[in-house]
Amino acid sequence: MAIPGQRFELDLDAPDFAFTPLDEDVLPDLSASLASSKTGFPEHKRRHISTFKKKQQAATRSPRPSAPTHIEPSDRAIAHHVGKKYGVDLESQQKAEIGEENARRIAEMSIEDVEEARAELMQNLNPAFVERLLKRANIDEDTQDQAQWPTDTEQQAQEDHRGTHADLNAPSDTQLPAPPAGSASSFHFPTPPRSKDDFIPLDPNDPSFIAELRSHYFPDTPHDPSTLSWLQDPTEEENQASMYNPEKDSYLASALRFGFNGRLIAPKESLEIDVKQGLHHHGDDPSSAGYTIPELALLARSSLPNQRCMAYQLLGRVLFRLGRGDFGERGSELQEALWSVVEREKPLEVMMAEANRQSGHASAKAHAIEALWLWRKGGGGDRGVLKPNQRLAK
């Protein structure tokens, strides 16, 4: 049996867990290490530094290359300094030398060599780049031509030299050389502002309002008359050629127009609706109020969210009435024609894509979901979207 306080070794592999007492001579002497420690515990031994940390410390200790305090000036800076100091334009001299060398080489070439070199350049270089080079050459030629004209300083010096004496040999006004063509258009001479008395009020209801507006207030402003055509009312010929003319006997299903509540608008009624109701737009028939299904399908693909919201809302109401049978019983000619227009224009696929978006305009997504719910609620869930291998109804 072991004595209390005596150290022993326990063999766990033995069947009876026999223990063997340890002699005092075998035990390590920890008195020296404990005596040197202030806390009575063995001191911590430093571990060896890893190779990665040694490389990192060596990299941080290495001095960084300092920025050069003296920067050599560039050739362009030297040329500018020399030209400013001695009054010599080295860039112009270099251009003149290059131009003389090019002219000398071209003079030594035959006509066949010139044509061959030109064809090689046209074949290897980009045509747009060649066009820019030709324009630049024309600009340089114009600059050289303008350099032949006396400057304001030279003219002033000549006038000071002449003094008050008149030159009898001077050419008359009719003999002066004409300025180069196109120089007058490059100058803009401001005109004094017009007085308030010159402006007269215009009548917006006058048929000639657009023409008078331009001629009276903007006489010098260039304009394109075709860009203002949408401001003018349709002519009588355009109204007669309209697809929704009340005088016609039959109408296409794609030309039928609907209001904001999804109700079908009669041709005669579409001409009597006031423009303040917001049903007029710059479509195929600007005089007729309402929206057709192709126009709504086009607005449903717009990049403006407010146009998409309006199209989704109106399409949902039209599809609800169409599925409920407001435009005829199922299988009737008008209902089948309207469903064929919907299946051809595919506005339902657009609204489904809008409703399945993870991000985007929240109002447009909400209106698309509402339109799809109205389409299902009206009972037209089995029409409007073509199935695989299904053709459009005639």
Q: Which of 64-78, 141-155, 274-288, 314-328 has the lowest mean pLDDT?
A: 141-155
* H, E, C per residue of 222-251: CCCHHHHHHHCCCCHHHHHCCCCCCCCCCC
Q: Cα separation of 91 and 75, whole Å?
A: 11
| Per-residue pLDDT tens over the stretch 35-49 | 566 777 777 777 777
Q: Cα separation of 257 and 292, whole Å?
A: 5
| Whether the predicted pLDDT of 164 surpasses 70 | no
Output Rg (C-alpha) for the chain, integer angstroms: 47
Residues 6+ apart with CB under 8 A from 271: 246, 287, 288, 289
**CB contact at 8 A, 170 and 162:** no
pLDDT band at 172 (very low <50, low <70, confident <90, very high): very low
Taking CA 215 as the corner, what is the angle to CA 212 and CA 218, rounded to the nearest 5 degrees? 115
Kindly report the pTM of this predicted structure: 0.46
SS3 91: helix
| Per-residue pLDDT tens over the stretch 73-113 | 777 777 777 777 777 677 777 788 888 888 888 888 888 88
Q: Cα separation of 299 and 318, whole Å?
A: 15
